[in-house]
Amino acid sequence: MFDPISHYSHISAAILAGGLGTRLRSIVPDTQKVLAEVLKRPFLTFLLDQLETAGIRHVVLCTGYKGEAIHKQLGDKYESLRMIYSQEDAPLGTGGALRLALPHLNSDPVLVMNGDSYINTDVNAFLDWFSLKDVPAAMVVARVPNTNRYGRVILDEDSRVKSFEEKGGKADPGWINAGIYLFKNKLLENIPRGKPYSLEQNFFPFLVAQGFYGYPCKADFLDIGTPVSYADAGNFFQKIRPAG
């Protein structure tokens, strides 16, 4: 009998948790950004809950700045999740950190999440959609009333990513990168090893040529990257009913 909880237990998930969090230092000066408290718990635990609800059991935390603090606070197990830490010795960017973690990511596809944002989506539904669409790479895209702060993702009629517009562009409604991705494992080998490399600036333009798709999701989205958005995080999680 099909068990939706265990259906994706083989999937490896990576969480990008190595950012410096420069913009948040005025209010959380001694804390790694993903450990910033929301409702008296580390923000990262909301992402871990989302993965556990999806039935995923293997998580790699891609750490850098204050990575030892994350390991010390969360340990090697969270509920039913087994956690491995991939610690960079020098800043490698989002792409370089993911490439460093590749030996620990044994599934195909690999699920990747930004550690400083949350979208209230059903991860299982994204995995189902990706499997049925049979594409090499995809991202969850969120619909927001103003894309100016985030940049914009331009999709064609088949939800294929055509291009990206930089932050500070149009202040109109549109689709933005919601920070959850699925990549065929083989694609990650194209990221150079041991060098600073950005997913957004370097890898995504490469993927557009390969076939990069957006999974449209009209769900509540939060990015804790600024003091204003972080201050609203408690209200955000109190209002939503987590999907899954």
Q: What is the pLDDT at residue 185?
A: 96
Kindly tell me if the per-residue pLDDT of 178 is higher than 70. Answer: yes
- Give every CB contact of residue 3 below 8 A, 6+ residues apart in sequence: none
CATH topology of domain 12-140+177-239: Spore Coat Polysaccharide Biosynthesis Protein SpsA; Chain A (3.90.550)
Structure-token match 């950005």, residue found:
198
What is the identity of the amino acid at 41? R
Q: Can you tell me the distance from the alpha carbon of 24 to that of 170, in angstroms, rounded to the nearest whole number? A: 25
- The pTM score is 0.94
Kindly tell me if the per-residue pLDDT of 21 is higher than 70. Answer: no
Let me know if 239 is a catalytic residue. Answer: no
> Catalytic: which of 167, 186, 195, 239?
167
Q: Are 104 and 86 in contact (CB under 8 A)?
A: yes
Q: What is the pLDDT of residues 100-137, one digit of tens each?
A: 999 999 999 999 999 999 999 999 999 999 999 999 99
How far CA 226 is from CA of 21, 222, 223, 234, in Å, comes to 9, 11, 8, 14
Q: Can you tell me the distance from the alpha carbon of 129 to that of 138, in angstroms, rounded to the nearest whole number? A: 10
Q: What is the pLDDT of residues 200-219, one digit of tens each?
A: 999 999 999 999 999 999 89
Query: Distance of alpha carbon 169 from its chain centroid, rounded?
Result: 23
Q: Where are the domains of the chain?
A: 12-140+177-239
Q: What is the pLDDT at residue 1?
A: 39
Kindly tell me if the per-residue pLDDT of 53 is higher than 50. Answer: yes
pLDDT band with cut points at 50, 70 and 90 for residue 195: very high
